[in-house]
Amino acid sequence: MTRIEVKVGQRSHFVTVGAGLLQQADALLPPGRRFVVSDSLVWDAQGDRLGLDCDPILVPPGELSKSWEGLRLLAERLIGLGIERGDLVVAFGGGMVGDLAGFAAAILKRGVRLAQLPTSLLAQVDSSVGGKTAINAAGGKNLIGAFHQPEAVLIDVDALDTLPEAELRAGYAEIVKYGLIGDANFFGWCEANSAALVAGEAAARRRAIETCVRAKAAIVAQDERETHGVRALLNFGHTFGHAIEAEAGLRHGEAVAAGMALAFRFSAERGLCTRGEAERVAAHLAAACLPTRLPACDPAALLRRMRQDKKAEDGRLPLVLVRAIGSAFVARDIEEAEIAAFLEREAH
Ligand SMILES: NC(=O)c1ccc[n+]([C@@H]2O[C@H](COP(=O)([O-])OP(=O)(O)OC[C@H]3O[C@@H](n4cnc5c(N)ncnc54)[C@H](O)[C@@H]3O)[C@@H](O)[C@H]2O)c1
Ligand SMILES: [Zn+2]
């Protein structure tokens, strides 16, 4: 197994990546009383692999559980079970469970301990690392949340065996993101190895997951709370993506794929990167069966969503754009009208 440190001061901890880790969870998790939170699909698929003697708290699968009501039910349940400050919430599932259980851990008793056991590809390469937790509000995704670092993250690549292929492909979009924002060589590796990764080749999965976790850990170590702009690079494709996700009902990763293709074309139109690079990126995402175009939806509604996104500042939309594959930056000078015109063109 590989151990990668996330250096966040006193909350520094390790992410362990390997095969068969779930069976060893008892030994690998910090000691103490543990409260396992999962969703019913994950539990049915993977619960028997988890080497913990526990009675899990199961929430319904799906983004709707990441809501005020879902949080209320989970928090009341944990309080009813007598959870204490020193106890550990173990989030065992995809990004939904990680965000919901993580946020509950952040606020219960003003913060209880947390461990992440991500079971979806998206959660393994992205959401389980970095300490962001949140639920959704009527006004947008992830608007109510907290930074709450886990004490341990265990990434068992075997858990992916039961993940539906569409979820796997959606998670793959976040892998490509790391190449696009900061590592052109890794993007080349993705082009050569995505088929093996999707088909289940363990070495390809581990290499991709470890590369992404290292990249995310390095970014989080520099900018844990997204105050200097470095961490904002991880939002590449996400301002377009969150709007598409909400308007067209795509999976998060699918919407991010379309968002990244859009961000590349937008960058190319501004003369920041070449059209050839934008096409190369779209071709790779399409080869992985991910969307690269706007789904049928109203461009004006998309722009409204983008404005509501938590990253909107002073009426201007900060957007992560690219100078090349592997070279992203935060642009703060983009007028809404320019984005509106771009979305109109993309919609036709
Ligand atoms: N906190 C962060 O930094 C961060 C980053 C990115 C995304 N997110 C959040 O993550 C969520 C998306 O995560 P997701 O794509 O993992 O969604 P998800 O947790 O809803 O999982 C997708 C589906 O796969 C199922 N599943 C998960 N693992 C499985 C397994 N091993 N076997 C069988 N089925 C399995 C789940 O039951 C669910 O039906 C969104 O809410 C998004 O906002 C958070
Ligand atoms: Zn994402």
Q: Which pLDDT tens digit goes with each residue over 54-96?
A: 999 999 999 999 999 999 999 999 999 999 999 999 999 999 9
Give the residue whose CA is nearest to atom 9 of ligand 1: 95
Of 109, 66, 72, the residue nearest 87 (C-alpha): 109
pLDDT tens across 154-205, in order?
999 999 999 999 999 999 999 999 999 999 999 999 999 999 999 999 999 9
Of 192, 222, 228, 224, the residue nearest 207 (C-alpha): 192
Catalytic residue among 34, 242, 265, 284: 242
Q: What is the pTM of this model?
A: 0.95
Quote the longest CA-to-CA distance of the chain: 58
Atom of ligand 1 nearest to the CA of 174: 6
Distance 149 CA to ligand 2 centre (A): 18
pLDDT for 316:
80
* The amino acid at 249: G
Distance from the Cα of residue 283 to its chain's centroid:
22
65 lines ligand 1 (CB under 6 A): no
Distance 54 CA to ligand 2 centre (A): 30
